[in-house]
Amino acid sequence: MRLDTWGATLEDPLPKWYRFPECFGTSGRTQNHLEMTIEAQGKKYVLRFISGSTSQLEMAVAHLGDRRRDFGRRNSEPNLFDPEMLEPEKPDPCPDQHAESEDADGPRFARTFSSWSDEVFTASDRPHRRMATAGGGACKFAPLFRDALRVELEPVREMSAMVDGLLLLAPPQCLTGTDGTGGSSGDGTQQDIFTITEDGATVTKPWPQPLFPMILVIMGTGVSILRVDSAAPGDFVRVGGTACGGGSFLGLARMLTSAKSFDEALILAADGNAQNADKLVSDIYGEDGCLTLGLPGNLTASNFGKLGEMSEAKCSERDLARSLLQMVTQQSVLLASAHAKMAGCIDRVFFAGGFVDEKNWIARKVPAPL
């Protein structure tokens, strides 16, 4: 995610030189459908989202650092990555939160308590830009960003950020418990909750009332399930999760199919038939037995169950990708459903995260497991 500060508005389109490419590198993507304008302290900003493989981040940032240094040596023109061109940090409004010290063998440093979290980071007196960052990379890649780009990564609690982001979209009446129709614009003309149909159409959903308690399922590399009890800061708890998430899907897809990326695995899954790999309830009990049990015959009884039979299974790599996608999705749906029943909010379950991006419409129509 990047916050751009040139003050462009929807009425004043950005110049071509400033627009991000649709794709860059092997996995980089610009999520144009998420672009929005926001206003803060009288200035307008363009908020853009980009995505890419974290495994390639270290190499990409190191390359940018090399380019920054080479450019600075060869040119005298302004350089966005030149530390001399960075804006100096403004005086801290809370000086009592700083403790300055001086090393006998080096320059002073400032130990600063983050305004976004309780984490602590250190920075030299040389000018830096700060960037709020969530996830393990906020700590893992902090030295790399500091040395290569003169950027300080300031850690933010990821789960808090996800909850705050969802509540930011919710209409005020849902947060306060008053009557209303929902919609972020306040007039009912825009809905932030939606689903994607098989043909790619967006179907909006109204915000539920009452909103709390609710279940928030964060599906990324792994899966975390939160119960949010109110709009008060920090009023949520992690009630469960699973290690079977987007990372499992991609890792197994690369082992079982020819797909090398998440997008390629989704393309294969879109043309696959999971029933060629999964064993259904009807495969075990027959149609008459399903009627006796009172269960639909198309319920999944065993993911990849048909591959364990002695007879040769007629299963393509597309079928394997579809079955794998259903397996990962079903685990989170089962867990979320159980926690929602315990919390009494079965109609208030939200799914978020990179795994359920718009392009993954298949996950929204996965049949229920047994």
pLDDT-derived band at 198, boundaries 50, 70, 90: low
Contact of 182 with 209, CB cutoff 8 Å: yes
- Residue indicated by tokens 């996800």: 162
**What angle (nearest 5°) sits at the alpha carbon of residue 161, between those of residues 160 and 164?**
85
Element (H, E) at 3: strand 2-4
What is the H or E stretch that residue 298 is in? none
What's the full length of the chain, in residues? Answer: 370
Contacts (Cβ under 8 Å, ≥6 apart) of 365: 197, 198
Q: Which of 318, 317, 323 is nearest to 300 (CA)?
A: 323
State pLDDT tens for residues 35-91.
Answer: 888 788 888 888 888 888 777 888 888 888 887 777 666 665 444 444 444 444 444
Between 309 and 265, where is the model more confident?
A: 265
What is the pTM for the complete model shown? 0.72
Q: Where are the alpha helices (DSSP H) in 75-209?
A: 137-140, 142-149, 158-169, 172-176
Q: Under CATH, domain 176-370 is a member of which superfamily?
A: ATPase, nucleotide binding domain (3.30.420.40)
- Domain boundaries in the chain? 2-88+108-158, 176-370
Please name the residue that has the structure tokens 């419409």.
361
| Third-level CATH fold of 2-88+108-158 | Nucleotidyltransferase; domain 5 (3.30.420)
Q: For residue 313, give the amino acid letter.
A: A
**Which tens digits make up the pLDDT trace of 252-271?**
999 999 999 888 999 999 99
